[in-house]
């Protein structure tokens, strides 16, 4: 039962990685989430639909596998140039998942697996492209008569999804309902994993052309940020969900945090606020919910 895809997003220093697994069997992925979250290298683990996301310290660890209690895990995450090698281990059915199910996922460069199944302890190592996170924030592409930003952006992202720039997530972000809103006052953030700067540039250029072609508004905001988790925008985003923010303040915040502004209509205010909410669609839709800083340490009850 191969996974749909397995992706490795790394920070600039290759000290941390987020391993994102797109499953074809949600119940099996839930089992993995429960057990893998206990592995020493995993700092935080969570599910977003049928994607399981493991925020990890790179390196190697020793897994103490125990049936039913800690039956499988990620043993190592090693960055080698433009590739990431991930080693899994598991007992019984968990060993099948750790080897064959992951080895035959889309986008795997190569693999090495042991025998698995029955009572065996199995190990598997896969190599995947090293990716960096590219976040695209958009707001105000509709009018009082036509359009919806969340559908337009998703449809464009699906068209642009490819191995070099994989489409990872889509979050709707509830903002403070200012009078200028079309209806619900929500912006959208798209998350991609790009293998290099060329892939990023092609993605961003094509996305901008598509937005300019299909937007129904003269006030569209479009911003781009290449960052591991957009921490510098947490405070700004939290404020945008509870109070009115000026365009001047938004532009100043964008410059301070290295955000590229591609379209600078009034929608840039909400587009910028959406960026930290990538991969958090369950929380981002709730009015007033604050985004919480990510703790860089092993978390208790991290699932």
| pLDDT (tens digit per residue) in 248-289 | 999 999 999 999 999 999 999 999 999 999 999 999 888 888
Residue 179: predicted pLDDT:
55
Rounded distance between C-alpha atoms, residue 253 and residue 274, angstroms: 13
Residues in a beta bridge with 178: none
Task: Kindly state whether residues 243 and 109 are assigned to the same domain.
Answer: no
Task: Kindly state whether residues 150 and 248 are assigned to the same domain.
Answer: yes
Task: Kindly state whether residues 23 and 124 are assigned to the same domain.
Answer: yes
Residue 300: predicted pLDDT:
43
Within-domain flag for 76:
yes
Residue 117: predicted pLDDT:
62
Task: Indicate the pLDDT class of residue 292, thresholds 50, 70 and 90.
Answer: confident
Of 75, 107, 130, which residue is a domain's last? 130
Residue 44 has pLDDT above 80, yes or no: yes
Q: Which domain holds residue 190?
A: 140-285
Residue 303: predicted pLDDT:
38
Task: Kindly state whether residues 88 and 157 are assigned to the same domain.
Answer: no
Within-domain flag for 151:
yes
Rounded distance between C-alpha atoms, residue 139 and residue 153, angstroms: 10
Task: Indicate the pLDDT class of residue 176, thresholds 50, 70 and 90.
Answer: confident
Q: What is the mean pLDDT of the chain?
A: 89
Task: Indicate the pLDDT class of residue 302, thresholds 50, 70 and 90.
Answer: very low
Task: Kindly state whether residues 255 and 162 are assigned to the same domain.
Answer: yes
Residue 115: predicted pLDDT:
78
Task: Indicate the pLDDT class of residue 91, thresholds 50, 70 and 90.
Answer: confident
Percent of the chain with pLDDT over 70: 92
Residue 78 has pLDDT above 60, yes or no: yes
What's the CATH code of the domain at 167? Answer: 3.30.70.2200
Task: Indicate the pLDDT class of residue 142, thresholds 50, 70 and 90.
Answer: confident
Rounded distance between C-alpha atoms, residue 73 and residue 32, angstroms: 8
Average confidence (pLDDT) over 237-243: 90
Task: Indicate the pLDDT class of residue 301, thresholds 50, 70 and 90.
Answer: very low
Task: Kindly state whether residues 100 and 203 are assigned to the same domain.
Answer: no
Within-domain flag for 294:
no
Residue 297: predicted pLDDT:
54
Rounded distance between C-alpha atoms, residue 131 and residue 59, angstroms: 17
Average confidence (pLDDT) over 86-98: 83
Residues with Cβ within 8 Å of 282's Cβ and at least 6 positions away in sequence, in order, are 48
Residue 11 has pLDDT above 90, yes or no: yes
Residue 23 has pLDDT above 70, yes or no: yes
Task: Kindly state whether residues 122 and 13 are assigned to the same domain.
Answer: yes
For residue 293, the SS3 value is coil
Task: Kindly state whether residues 278 and 154 are assigned to the same domain.
Answer: yes
Write out the two tokens for 121. 């302890």
Residue 213 has pLDDT above 80, yes or no: yes
- How far is C-alpha 46 from the chain's CA centre? 11
Of 75, 96, 130, which residue is a domain's last? 130
Task: Kindly state whether residues 90 and 155 are assigned to the same domain.
Answer: no
Least confident range from 27-36, 88-97, 290-299: namely: 290-299
Within-domain flag for 299:
no
For the chain, how many structural domains are there in total?
Answer: 2
Task: Kindly state whether residues 98 and 170 are assigned to the same domain.
Answer: no
Residue 234: predicted pLDDT:
94
Residues with Cβ within 8 Å of 48's Cβ and at least 6 positions away in sequence, in order, are 169, 279, 280, 281, 282
Residue 134: predicted pLDDT:
98
Task: Kindly state whether residues 112 and 178 are assigned to the same domain.
Answer: no
Task: Kindly state whether residues 202 and 93 are assigned to the same domain.
Answer: no
Average confidence (pLDDT) over 125-145: 92
Average confidence (pLDDT) over 56-76: 88
Least confident range from 103-107, 116-120, 132-136, 295-299: namely: 295-299
């Amino acid at each position: 039962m191969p996974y749909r895809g397995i992706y490795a997003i790394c920070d600039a220093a290759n000290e941390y990685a987020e391993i994102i697994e797109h499953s074809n069997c949600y119940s099996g992925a839930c089992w993995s989430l429960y057990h893998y979250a206990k592995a020493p290298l995993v700092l935080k683990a969570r599910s977003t639909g049928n994607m399981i996301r493991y925020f990890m310290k790179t390196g190697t660890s020793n897994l103490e596998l125990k049936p039913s209690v800690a039956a499988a895990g990620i043993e190592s995450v090693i960055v080698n140039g433009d590739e990431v090698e991930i080693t899994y281990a598991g007992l019984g059915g968990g060993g099948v998942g750790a080897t064959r199910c992951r080895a035959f996922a889309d986008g795997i460069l190569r693999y090495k697996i042991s025998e698995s199944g029955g009572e065996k302890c199995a190990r598997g190592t896969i190599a995947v492209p090293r990716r960096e996170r590219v976040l695209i924030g958009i707001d105000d592409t509709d009018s009082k008569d036509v359009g919806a930003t969340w559908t337009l952006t998703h449809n464009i992202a699906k068209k642009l999804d490819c191995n070099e720039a994989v489409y990872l997530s889509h979050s709707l972000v509830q903002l403070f309902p200012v009078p200028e809103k079309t209806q619900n006052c929500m912006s959208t953030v798209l998350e991609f994993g790009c293998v290099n700067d060329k892939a990023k540039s092609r993605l961003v250029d094509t996305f901008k052309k598509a937005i300019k072609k299909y937007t129904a508004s003269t006030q569209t905001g479009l911003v781009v940020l290449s960052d591991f988790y957009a921490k510098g925008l947490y405070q700004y985003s939290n404020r945008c969900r509870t109070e009115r923010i000026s365009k001047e303040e938004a532009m100043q915040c964008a410059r301070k945090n290295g955000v590229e502004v591609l379209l600078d209509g009034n929608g840039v205010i909400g587009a910028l606020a959406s960026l930290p909410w990538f991969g958090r669609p369950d929380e981002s839709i709730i009015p007033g919910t604050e985004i919480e800083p990510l703790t860089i340490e092993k978390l208790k009850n991290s699932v």
